[in-house]
Structure 1
Amino acid sequence: MSVENQSVINALVEGILGPEAAHAVLAALDIDPTLMAERGPAISRAAFAMAMNIALFHDLLERVPSGAAYVEDRLARGGKVVFDHGALRTVRLAQGPTGELPPGEEAFTRILAPLGYEMAAVYPLDRLRMTGRAYRHADLPEAIPQFFLSELHVDRFDPEFAEVAARVFGTSRDPLTAEAKAVLERYADGRPVSLAEAAAALPVIVAAFDRQHEPASIEDYELLLSRSHEAGWIATEGNAFNHATDRVADVAALAERLKVEDWPIKDRLEISRTGRVRQTALRADTVERLFAGDELRRVPGSFYEFISRDIDPETGGLDLAFDTGNATGIFAMTSAQGEGSA
């Protein structure tokens, strides 16, 4: 794979997705020209982070037919997607690691921090017994998607829940190889990473955004679900993108159009306390998942979200913040009852 006349992001995305899928997803996304202009020979942390996000966005669309249909509709109307952020859910057991994974969000901060992400804010999600944290890229914060990384706190639940959570999530394996960790260490130390090294590490790192534990039994799943829709969701979907988000100019107008066209859109808009951040989402698509004992069941999968961000008068740039109330309302998209359970 040569970068002499090719954007390194093109090269990395083609390497992991193949030429046809890479062309389609790159054509759908409005990516900062600065990122697309990078030619190497070393691959910057910003370019690697963007390529990783593009691969994760593609994975989300593969799992969320309603999101893929929306993207097709947006392209047909002459638009492109501005990928604002992706969201992940993690589990922090009462003590120790989560199986072979580091506890809670640490399974992903070990990836995000070397790639240039910094924690921007903490969002207590007390109703959900979770904590959310926003991670923003230091180099191009408006252009590279943020991560909304949340932790489910098992120690805030009853002992029976904790026992089942340890049994289910304690089977997690660590997907990161020594070679992928070495590439992350090179980024953390500010040492150059070649295209060959980046291309080899990218699929391994993208694979971390998936379910790492063994299939749960139906009984264990139902107990987790009875206490927490989010725990039930993580039991089947793991650390896959919970949602990916399109930054649009007027989310209220978009939501009204989608309602009229009978899309499975959230009933109401979520508006931050500042009024500058407004969000809505399509309801989660249903997916078929295999449980222990080869039992199949249809459960809520991931979903596609929309956000509008106004200018923050204090900074003169986009308000890149999140909001606890917004997040709690959006999280309900993966419960069986939808937003009514929020």
Structure 2
Amino acid sequence: MSTTNLQFVLSSLLGAEHASQLSDLLQIPASTLRPRSDTVSRIEIAQALNMLLFEKLLKAVPQGNDYVQDSVRAGNKIRFDHGALRTVLGISTGTLPAGEAAFTRILRPLGYHVNGLYPLQRISMTGRAYAHEDDPEEIAQFFLSELHPHNFSVEFQNTVNKVLATSQDPIDSHSAQLLQQLAADKTLPITDTLTLLPVLVACFDRQHDLPSIADYQTLLAESAEMAWISTEGNAFNHATDRVPNVEQVADAQRALGRAIKEKIEISRNGRVRQTAFRASTVTRAMRDENGVLVDMKVPGSFYEFISRDRFLDEQSQTDKLDLTFDSGNAQGIFKMTASASPATN
């Protein structure tokens, strides 16, 4: 891999040893292992971004990291299936575009397209799956969900506006131009790739100020998902490992004493099965009624497992991996970040 664009990009950003360690964790699609050149294709940039975001998630989710390290010691590599993130539609979001627009401007130039629409009515959200056009089965998808504040109380909507109005857009004018160039040419010079990637990674984070304790409680009373967004923003809500048998993985992790969901979520067609570790607990500093910062324990991100079956596509008469999601599965998995109330340290 030392002679590929992907490894050169990762080594340039992380250092050679760190890049090698990250590469050892993941199954890397053959479609992204292209010889060194002065330009980098969109699929290589997408894979580099996915690897950087996967590592970022592991740093935030100790149970997930422990599982991954166990897998590597056992001689296995992680097959990164998808990453999930949350946005908010139709609300003042400062200089950051509202809803999925903050990320479609990134995903489309990288080669992603909408591969499914999933109403999440119980939690007043809409999910969209984005798959990569150049290698949909091997490049990790993005599950991008939007929360609809207009379905909640006026007080809730006002609080959402108050919290998100402080958002700052991490994409500067030069990065926006590079995304436009990538969309047009499907490649970027390697020096521009190295400039753009850290900006893209920064987009997957909280872009607004932390809420006050009172504002957090107002949001939590009506939507655990919005409360989560208020403290974690657009960070990966979870990253997902594609495994052959999710039931066996769940049983093995439960035997190790790790906090994993009891129920396996099964899609209506039976081909997609999911479960997850409970969300990590993180500490966020919020102001109390006197304006004093108090460390609060709230739900963070989590690590998920998925099994996908292959099937015969009747229309094309080809064997395909079921890359779909399921609204019921998603809403069940989202409960991993629900919490009744924040706790002080």
* TM-score for the superposition, normalised by structure 1: 0.94
Alpha-carbon distance between aligned partners in 1 of 2:17 and 2:123, rounded to the nearest angstrom: 40
SS at match of 1:312: strand
Q: Which residue of 1 aligns with 2:306?
A: 307
Alpha-carbon distance between aligned partners in 1 of 2:260 and 2:238, rounded to the nearest angstrom: 14
SS at match of 1:201: helix
Alpha-carbon distance between aligned partners in 2 of 1:337 and 1:280, rounded to the nearest angstrom: 21
Q: Which residue of 2 aligns with 1:323?
A: 326
Alpha-carbon distance between aligned partners in 1 of 2:296 and 2:35, rounded to the nearest angstrom: 45
CA shift for structure 1 position 221: 0.7
Unpaired stretches in structure 2, ≥5 consecutive residues: none
Q: Which residue of 1 aligns with 2:296?
A: 297
Give CA-to-partner distance per residue, 1:110-148, whole Å, 9 cap, x none: 100111000011100000000000000000101110000
CA shift for structure 1 position 191: 5.7
Alpha-carbon distance between aligned partners in 2 of 1:93 and 1:283, rounded to the nearest angstrom: 30
Alpha-carbon distance between aligned partners in 2 of 1:191 and 1:310, rounded to the nearest angstrom: 31
Pairing of 1:233-272 with structure 2 (within 5 A): 233-272=228-267
Pairing of 1:117-128 with structure 2 (within 5 A): 117-128=112-123
What letter matches 2:327 in structure 1?
A: T
Q: Which residue of 1 aligns with 2:211?
A: 216
Structure 1 position 156 matched with structure 2 position 151 = yes
CA shift for structure 1 position 184: 0.6
Alpha-carbon distance between aligned partners in 2 of 1:327 and 1:57, rounded to the nearest angstrom: 19
Identity of aligned residues (%): 48
Alpha-carbon distance between aligned partners in 2 of 1:325 and 1:15, rounded to the nearest angstrom: 42
Structure 1 position 55 matched with structure 2 position 58 = no
What letter matches 2:170 in structure 1?
A: P
Q: Which has the higher strand share?
A: 2
Indicate if the aligned counterparts of 2:42 and 2:186 stay in contact, CA closer than 8 A.
no
Give CA-to-partner distance per residue, 1:193-248, whole Å, 9 cap, x none: 11100001100111000000011111001110111000010000000000000000
Task: After the TM superposition, list the runs of 4 or more consecutive aligned residues in structure 1 that deviate by more than 4 angstroms.
Answer: none
Alpha-carbon distance between aligned partners in 2 of 1:191 and 1:85, rounded to the nearest angstrom: 22
Structure 1 position 7 matched with structure 2 position 4 = yes
Q: Which residue of 1 aligns with 2:338?
A: 335
What letter matches 1:321 in structure 2?
A: T
Indicate if the aligned counterparts of 1:243 and 1:304 stay in contact, CA closer than 8 A.
yes
What letter matches 2:93 in structure 1?
A: T
- Equivalent of 2:165 in 167, 170, 175: 170
Q: Which residue of 1 aligns with 2:101?
A: 106
* TM-score for the superposition, normalised by structure 2: 0.93
CA RMSD in angstroms, aligned pairs only? 1.5
Q: Which residue of 2 aligns with 1:280?
A: 275
Moved more, 211-220 or 33-42: 33-42
Aligned length: 333
| CA pair 337-26 structure 1, distance change in 2 beyond 3 A | farther
Alpha-carbon distance between aligned partners in 2 of 1:330 and 1:247, rounded to the nearest angstrom: 15
Alpha-carbon distance between aligned partners in 2 of 1:335 and 1:183, rounded to the nearest angstrom: 38
